[in-house]
A and B are shown apart, each in its own frame.
Chain A
Amino acid sequence: MTQEHQGGTGGWSAARKGVWSRLRFTSLRLRLVVVFGLVALTAAVSASGIAYWLNRESVLTRTQDAVLRDFEQEMRNRAGALPEHPTQDELQRTAGQMANSSQRFTVLLVAENPDGRTVYGSSGGLNGFSLRDVPVSLREAVTERQRITSNNKSPHHLYWQRIIDDDTPYLVAGSMVIGGGPTGYMLKSLEPEAKDLNSLAWSLGIATALALIGSALLAHAAATTVLKPVQRLGAAARRLGEGKLDTRLRVSGTDELADLSRTFNKAAEALEKRVADMAGRDEASRRFVADMSHELRTPLTAITAVTEVLEEELESEGGGIDPMVEPAVRLVVSETRRLNDLVENLMEVTRFDAGTARLVLDDVDVADQITACIDARAWLDAVDLDAERGIHARIDPRRLDVILANLIGNALKHGGSPVRVAVRECPAEGAEGMEGAEGAGDGGDVVIEVRDHGPGIPEEVLPHVFDRFYKASASRPRSEGSGLGLSIALENAHIHGGEITAANSPEGGAVFTLRLPRDVSARGASEKTGDNGDEGTEEDAR
């Protein structure tokens, strides 16, 4: 949650940022689930492993002890009762009797008959339990004669071993009747015990799996409780970045996340205060300029009125003015006019800055409007107009005139004549600088191109041509313009929802391209000013 938001309003698109952060959140969630799962798995596996082994040992030992005790008993009672060299028949019968004990094992008795031959007696018949089934090591241990010590009171013992034959576990045990007699072996299937243990293993496995699932769900829940506030924080940071400085988080609890939220709120508050301070200062200076130009107007009105009287005096036949004073009067007249223009432009700029500029819309023929603009300024000879009548647009004619006068005037001043002005219609395509192609079907745009035949605009100046009071070179003497013309033209295009771009033509000369929507009100980009409503219900144009 740190790095994905510190970008703020950087170059990243909001959508991409969103996807990115969601991916990150998911991975954090995933990590939590994995860690929880591992912990649960380890715990469950070791617990059930230990339980399994303990169980297995106790089950097997109990069974084994019972079986061996019986076997020993039988050996002592029945095999011990046999003569030292029994016959095959005797041996066989005894084996059968021994196997009939409560523990259901198979018995094999080995002895030497009176002829000195080895005879076998098996409870399971000859195919059943034979000496081959008894591991050699066990046979050796059983038949081996041990020395008698204080610890070892008999030369032979009962030995046992677990074997697996055909996937079935068996218990094999062997013993010898002390003092000479048959050797007895016993085979007991441990299958029921193995089955019990198997089902125990299964239930332990299922329990482990359940524990895993439970832990995953828990991890998910834990991740959600942690990530929810983080997501909220992220969303709040994004809103803050978008300029909604009054964004605050609800702080609940006393944990680290609540602490973070509190810090965020404090930071947002500080930021808001800072921005408000700056906006206030900005506002104050803007108001100063606005007030100043207001104040300038009153004396300027008086001066202008009087200057005209002087001007008429200059032009009147017979010259009522002293030739010595004449240059001075001319200077006053021309500079007053400049001052007038400057104050006029300043007023216009302050209106744009304060957001009080409004459109007064009317339906106009664009070509007529351009012709009138050129005509009114006596530019007809210097401008080459390529426009067909009949292109109508719903715009503010005064503002269009301001734009045209500034663009053409600028072209004439810097590029020299002939200035070529071309008008064409363009289908709405949400082109350069326009926000979205929401205006589909509203008649598209009107594009007016003003091209001069001068040296063009230097590359390093190009990005600044619309800046206020920007002079192409500091050493250049002050030009006739106020330095606000192109900036005002651009603002006027913007208030229409249009755009002006400056470029150099490949054939030489600068090209200014003005793009205006044909119907501002239909595009809903701006105020519904001057939209004279239906029959009888005229709206105020405000």
Chain B
Amino acid sequence: MGQNEPVPSLLLIEDDDAIRTALELSLTRQGHRVATAASGEDGLKLLREQRPDLIVLDVMLPGIDGFEVCRRIRRTDQLPIILLTARNDDIDVVVGLESGADDYVVKPVQGRVLDARIRAVLRRGERESSDSATFGSLVIDRSAMTVTKNGEDLQLTPTELRLLLELSRRPGQALSRQQLLRLVWEHDYLGDSRLVDACVQRLRAKVEDVPSSPTLIRTVRGVGYRLDAPQ
């Protein structure tokens, strides 16, 4: 990390004192600014006050649980959310991804892994080229990092935006889930393909005319996904 880079600010919502303290310690040492909250309600309040760059959210919380916090954040904000799940029971992961999380980490989490995920998620918002592409009514402006549909701005999370950018960079070419996991999530070879599926679903809900019968982001059976300009 360069010295000029602004220090990313995180919000850690975790009810267990020991984990909160330990993770705060670990993440601070990795060079993040960390604010912490012990409950979902506190976390939502802190979110409004501090406007962090990213949220690390425990699933099992007293009061409103992590999924609900996630859903409430998504109503207004598109900032990245990483879920901290105690069980990698699949139901947890799926519900988490459906409620709008960008990535998840299973406890007992290693600080280094969490750090890597945080940095990968944050990188998704970085701009890299300065052209634009048009797919039907959809216009992707890579310099402004905005996507408009019929002239209206779409609210995309950095992950959704990155996924759309990677797909639009290779129009008409099918990308496998594992490829997308490497390109967008920067996961190693063991990425969870459900991350891709959940994100594609959310993206379709925003960019497609009829999300249930997509014309832009097509499923390529046995391979993955492809971005097509509608005929």
Interface of A toward B, CB cutoff 8 Å: 294, 297-306, 308-309, 312, 340, 343, 347, 351, 356, 358, 360-364, 368-369, 372-373, 376, 394, 397-398, 401, 529-530, 532-538, 540-542
Interface: B23 (CB within 8 A):
yes
Q: Are A301's CB and B197's CB within 8 A?
A: no
Q: Which of A308, A369, A542 contacts B111 (CB 8 A)?
A: A308
Interface: B154 (CB within 8 A):
no
Q: Are B219's CB and A535's CB within 8 A?
A: yes
Q: Hey, which chain A residues are within 8 Å of B191, CB to CB?
A: 397
Q: Are B193's CB and A362's CB within 8 A?
A: yes
Interface of B toward A, CB cutoff 8 Å: 16, 18-19, 21-23, 25-26, 29, 86-91, 94, 98, 107-112, 176-178, 188-194, 197, 200-201, 204, 211-214, 218-219, 221-224
The complex places the Cα of A537 from the Cα of B19 at a distance, in Å, of 39
Check A351/B89 contact, CB under 8 A, given A369-B189, A532-B197, A536-B204. Answer: yes
Q: Are B109's CB and A538's CB within 8 A?
A: no
Q: Hey, which chain B residues are within 8 Å of A351, CB to CB?
A: 89
Q: Are B177's CB and A305's CB within 8 A?
A: no
Q: Are B19's CB and A540's CB within 8 A?
A: no
The complex places the Cα of A363 from the Cα of B180 at a distance, in Å, of 13
Q: Which of B26, B89, B218, B224 contacts A535 (CB 8 A)?
A: B218
Q: Hey, which chain B residues are within 8 Å of A398, CB to CB?
A: 190, 192
Q: A297-B108, A373-B189 are in contact. List 11 more A-B contacts (CB 8 A).
A: A301-B108, A304-B22, A304-B108, A305-B23, A347-B87, A351-B89, A360-B192, A360-B194, A363-B177, A369-B189, A541-B194
Give chain B nearest CB distance to A533 CB in angstroms. 8
- Across the interface, name the chain A residue whose C-beta is closest to B14: A301
- Across the interface, name the chain B residue whose C-beta is closest to A312: B29
- Across the interface, name the chain B residue whose C-beta is closest to A304: B108
Give chain B nearest CB distance to A106 CB in angstroms. 112
The complex places the Cα of A294 from the Cα of B89 at a distance, in Å, of 11
Q: Which of A306, A360, A363, A542 contacts B26 (CB 8 A)?
A: A306
Q: Hey, which chain A residues are within 8 Å of B89, CB to CB?
A: 351, 356
The complex places the Cα of A378 from the Cα of B55 at a distance, in Å, of 33
Q: Hey, which chain B residues are within 8 Å of A533, CB to CB?
A: 219
Q: Are A362's CB and B22's CB within 8 A?
A: no
Q: Hey, which chain A residues are within 8 Å of B201, CB to CB?
A: 538
Q: Are B188's CB and A372's CB within 8 A?
A: yes
Interface of A is mostly: helix
Give chain A nearest CB distance to B123 CB in angstroms. 21
Check A308/B110 contact, CB under 8 A, given A372-B188, A541-B90, A542-B94. Answer: yes
- Across the interface, name the chain B residue whose C-beta is closest to A354: B89
Give chain A nearest CB distance to B224 CB in angstroms. 8
The complex places the Cα of A535 from the Cα of B197 at a distance, in Å, of 12
The complex places the Cα of A298 from the Cα of B21 at a distance, in Å, of 12
The complex places the Cα of A535 from the Cα of B218 at a distance, in Å, of 6
Q: Are A298's CB and B19's CB within 8 A?
A: yes
Q: Are A294's CB and B178's CB within 8 A?
A: no
- Across the interface, name the chain B residue whose C-beta is closest to A357: B90
- Across the interface, name the chain A residue whose C-beta is closest to B219: A535
Q: Are B218's CB and A541's CB within 8 A?
A: no
- Across the interface, name the chain A residue whose C-beta is closest to B189: A372
The complex places the Cα of A436 from the Cα of B219 at a distance, in Å, of 33
- Across the interface, name the chain B residue whose C-beta is closest to A371: B189
Check A364/B178 contact, CB under 8 A, given A306-B25, A538-B197. Answer: yes
Give chain A nearest CB distance to B24 CB in angstroms. 9
- Across the interface, name the chain B residue whose C-beta is closest to A299: B18
Q: Are A541's CB and B197's CB within 8 A?
A: yes
Chain A CB count within 10 A is highest, among B194, B212, B224, for B194
Check A394/B211 contact, CB under 8 A, given A302-B16, A340-B108. Answer: no
The complex places the Cα of A534 from the Cα of B222 at a distance, in Å, of 10
When A and B form their complex, which 5 residue pairs have the shortest distance between CB atoms, in order from nearest? A372-B189, A302-B18, A305-B22, A302-B22, A301-B108
The complex places the Cα of A536 from the Cα of B205 at a distance, in Å, of 10
The complex places the Cα of A401 from the Cα of B188 at a distance, in Å, of 12
Could you jot down 28 A-B contacts, CB within 8 Å? Answer: A294-B86, A294-B87, A297-B108, A298-B19, A298-B86, A300-B107, A301-B19, A301-B23, A301-B107, A301-B108, A303-B108, A305-B25, A309-B29, A309-B111, A347-B87, A356-B90, A360-B193, A361-B193, A363-B223, A364-B178, A368-B189, A369-B189, A372-B188, A397-B178, A401-B190, A535-B213, A535-B214, A541-B94
Q: Which of A297, A306, A372, A536 contacts B212 (CB 8 A)?
A: A536
Give chain A nearest CB distance to B160 CB in angstroms. 15
The complex places the Cα of A297 from the Cα of B92 at a distance, in Å, of 16
Give chain A nearest CB distance to B36 CB in angstroms. 13
Check A304/B109 contact, CB under 8 A, given A364-B178, A376-B188, A534-B221. Answer: yes
The complex places the Cα of A275 from the Cα of B107 at a distance, in Å, of 36
Q: Which of B90, B189, B200, B223 contacts A360 (CB 8 A)?
A: B90
Q: Are A536's CB and B94's CB within 8 A?
A: no
The complex places the Cα of A158 from the Cα of B191 at a distance, in Å, of 127
- Across the interface, name the chain B residue whose C-beta is closest to A356: B89
Q: Which of A303, A356, A363 contacts B176 (CB 8 A)?
A: A363
The complex places the Cα of A321 from the Cα of B221 at a distance, in Å, of 55
The complex places the Cα of A407 from the Cα of B177 at a distance, in Å, of 26
- Across the interface, name the chain B residue whose C-beta is closest to A369: B189
Chain B CB count within 10 A is highest, among A305, A343, A532, for A305
Q: Which of B90, B111, B193 contacts A305 (CB 8 A)?
A: B111
The complex places the Cα of A340 from the Cα of B219 at a distance, in Å, of 38
Q: Are A397's CB and B189's CB within 8 A?
A: yes
Give chain B nearest CB distance to A372 CB in angstroms. 4
The complex places the Cα of A540 from the Cα of B98 at a distance, in Å, of 9
Chain B CB count within 10 A is highest, among A304, A312, A373, for A304
Q: Hey, which chain A residues are within 8 Å of B94, CB to CB?
A: 540-542
Check A305/B214 contact, CB under 8 A, given A376-B188, A542-B94. Answer: no
The complex places the Cα of A529 from the Cα of B213 at a distance, in Å, of 21
Q: Hey, which chain A residues are within 8 Å of B189, CB to CB?
A: 368-369, 372-373, 376, 397, 401
Give chain B nearest CB distance to A234 CB in angstroms. 43
Q: Hey, which chain B residues are within 8 Å of A397, CB to CB?
A: 178, 189-191, 193
Q: Hey, which chain B residues are within 8 Å of A300, CB to CB?
A: 107-108
Q: Are B222's CB and A302's CB within 8 A?
A: no
- Across the interface, name the chain A residue whose C-beta is closest to B115: A308
Give chain A nearest CB distance to B183 CB in angstroms. 15
The complex places the Cα of A361 from the Cα of B178 at a distance, in Å, of 11
Give chain A nearest CB distance to B230 CB in angstroms. 13
The complex places the Cα of A309 from the Cα of B110 at a distance, in Å, of 10
